[in-house]
Amino acid sequence: MSPAAVPFVIELCAGSWIREATRLHRRYLLEVVEACGLCPWALAARLTDRVRVAVLLEDDDALVEPSIAVIDSWAADENVEVGFLIYPRLPLQRADFDGFTARLRSADTDRYRLGEAPFAAAAFHPHAEADVHHPERLVPFLRRTPDPCIQIVRTASLARVRSRTCEGTTFVDMAHFDAGIRDDVGPPLRERIARTNFETVQRMGLEQVRGRLDAIRRDRDATYGALLAAEKSERGDFPRTVQPAGRDLPRREDCESRAACLQKG
């Protein structure tokens, strides 16, 4: 391939990753969060165009500045209540991604006086087994987004969520967000929501919820495997072999037909 063609290939590949990561995340929101009735508020936020998604293609966690730039753009838009920063090419296991999220959170909130940061942040990750021994231990399983991602929620919206009676669960991770908010009566809100999560899964059946999450995961693995195969086909000297989210990708031969479709598109 000629050097002049390299920028076009990089741009084409980036566009494919962004498109597919956005599609997969939308599957999670529609097929898990909304379809399972986990949060009536999630549907309202989407229908009123108050949810944003940004895909960041960094493949190491050295820099938080690109993520901060996205957060700042959302802060300037009063219509944004919830945002998801998605990292499909960041090969971090769950504990390491939690550390990356903590650094990003500090970099963001340290720019404001205490309590004045416009957003709160929490990590979601695709690797979490179902632990049904205690309601709060089940929460990570229900937050198995297709890719590592950070949920950004406007603090004013959190106050409104807290003031309402939740009849379902919420994709807002109150286990973290509620840390600085006191309840005057009864157990903390995070405990109430975790209990409702647990009851919802018991009513639906754990395997039904797991099946929805696993179907999205299989779609993700096949799709990203095809993207990597397409990159290697278009540019044999592509600089990195990426294993998103720390898991082995499908074999190239299993993805050739999918790769051909992506290249034609």
The CA dihedral of 119, 120, 126, 128, to the nearest 10 degrees, is -170
- Give the three-state DSSP class for 120: strand
Residue 249 has pLDDT above 50, yes or no: no
Which tens digits make up the pLDDT trace of 8-43?
A: 344 558 899 999 999 999 999 999 988 877 765 678
> In which band, very low, low, confident or very high, does the pLDDT at 189 lie, cut at 50, 70 and 90?
low
Helix (H) or strand (E) run with residue 86 in it: strand 82-86
Residue 45 has pLDDT above 80, yes or no: yes
Please give the full DSSP string across 139-203, using - where no structure is assigned.
HHHHT--SS-EEEEEEHHHHHHHHHSPPSS--SS-HHHHGGG---SSSS-HHHHHHHHHHHHHHH
> In which band, very low, low, confident or very high, does the pLDDT at 236 lie, cut at 50, 70 and 90?
low
For the full predicted model, state whether its pTM sits above 0.95.
no
Which tens digits make up the pLDDT trace of 109-157?
A: 999 999 888 998 989 999 988 878 888 788 888 899 999 999 998 888 7
Helix (H) or strand (E) run with residue 25 in it: helix 6-28
Would you say 71 and 119 are in contact if contact means Cβ atoms under 8 Å apart? yes
